[in-house]
Amino acid sequence: MLDDKIIAGLPTPCYVIDEAALIRNLELLASVRADTGCKILLALKAFAAWRLFPLIAQYLDGVNAASVNEARLGLEEFGKEVHLAVPAYGERDLAELFALLAARESRAPFHVVFNSLAQWKKFGKICLDRGIVCGLRVNPERSTGANPIYDPCRSGSRLGITIAEMESCSASYLAGVSGLHFHALCEQNADALAQVLEAFEQKFGKYLPGLKWVNFGGGHHITRLSRLHPGVGITEEYDVELLVKLVREFKTRRPVEVYLEPGEAVALYAGALVATVLDVVRRDVPIAILDASAAAHMPDVLEGPYLPPVLGALPAPPGCPPPPHTFRLSGNTCLAGDVIGDYVFERPLEPGSRVVFLDQAHYTMVKNNTFNGVNLPAIILLKSSGAVETVKEFGFEEFRGRLS
């Protein structure tokens, strides 16, 4: 666990991955595997810190990739199953993929999921000829999320084949498809999965006989549990018992392999972003300018939007005047809206103060950028023993290497 002494000695900005918290998540996921007989994949789109893949591979069955680059990372660093699901493949993508597969040492299964029937018709046979397991992504058309930007089942979604499209095909057209994949959730509980699963079976159940697997996708917040992460203020516990029940009952009805592919749940509450206050600008609410940035280092804060938890601080209540020691935390870029939010601290912030944003292991490192030429945060590993390891630091070369 991060303490004041460790925080004071860190280079900032930096992401800190808490190995002990990560292991707690992995142990819970492994127990779900054992209780249900399902397989669980790490979704690399959420967490791709490959330095930790040997640890994660002790608990999970493989990775889900959303690009050929992620697939390559999984092949080279994880060494177990890789499932690739992309909205659309180009010929160049698959040529690169085939070369990677020809050179790989692992014989673990490799899945390619097609998002449309046109893509299946175009590329399915050449994938099958190379021994690739092929599946189709379907759209249950059952929305359960609150934010349309994260809802693959939203009206007019490009993600997944609808039942109307499937019913336009003959059985021979689908020959070679060995499984179906749906992904409809985002940071949700098992009750949402129950709704989506019901819609999936109602619409696509007639296609399941003869198939070998079904992938329930990601978005399952399985590790959102106070017993794993005490003290972070979890208000709604994930219903693990319901998840186990749903998977078991589905496998009883449908004799297929079931996959789950959480990403966020693997790294939930397992990391922080540590920043330093560079300056305080006095306005109606004092503004602390940090060496970290929402736009560059926590883009989901603006995209969501959401207010990340901060160690030793609480979100400022609405209204005025603001309580004592209220500060507006902001980034060090030219974007006027590079603002994280208003927080009430126990003591005033000043240049040199450290600010620790919690739950920043997932989606931050994979989505960060060098806008304005700001440095990427260093990656620090806080080991279970309490030792601190600097995994990587970034500088000009990373900024320069992205451009030409």
* pLDDT per position as a tens digit, 192-244: 999 999 999 999 999 999 999 999 999 999 999 999 999 898 999 999 999 99
Please indicate, yes or no, if residue 174 is contained in any of the structural domains.
yes
- 227 and 92 part of one domain: yes
- 9 and 126 part of one domain: no
Q: What is the pLDDT, as a whole number, of residue 21?
A: 97
The parts of the chain modelled with pLDDT lower than 70 are none
- 85 and 177 part of one domain: yes
- 259 and 289 part of one domain: no
Q: What is the pLDDT, as a whole number, of residue 104?
A: 85
- CA 169 remoteness from chain centre: 33
Asked if residues 312 and 329 have their Cβ atoms less than 8 Å apart, the reply is no
Of 345, 234, 348, the closest CA to residue 280 belongs to 348
Computed on alpha carbons and rounded to an integer, the radius of gyration of the chain in Å comes to 22
29-to-243, 244, 269, 274, 285 alpha-carbon distances in Å: 11, 11, 15, 27, 43
Q: What is the pLDDT, as a whole number, of residue 146?
A: 83
Q: What is the pLDDT, as a whole number, of residue 197?
A: 98
Give the residue from 212, 247, 267 where a domain finishes.
267
Question: How confident is the model over 131-145, as pLDDT tens digits?
Answer: 999 999 999 999 998
Q: Which domain holds residue 190?
A: 37-267
Q: What is the pLDDT, as a whole number, of residue 185?
A: 97
* Domain CATH code at residue 316: 2.40.37.10
Q: Which two tokens stand for residue 58?
A: 């002790």
Give the SS3 label for residue 354. Answer: strand
Q: What is the pLDDT, as a whole number, of residue 320?
A: 79
How many other C-beta atoms lie within 10 A of the C-beta of residue 3?
A: 8
- 168 and 290 part of one domain: no
Please indicate, yes or no, if residue 212 is contained in any of the structural domains.
yes
Question: How confident is the model over 287-306, as pLDDT tens digits?
Answer: 999 999 999 999 999 998 99
Number of domains in the chain: 2
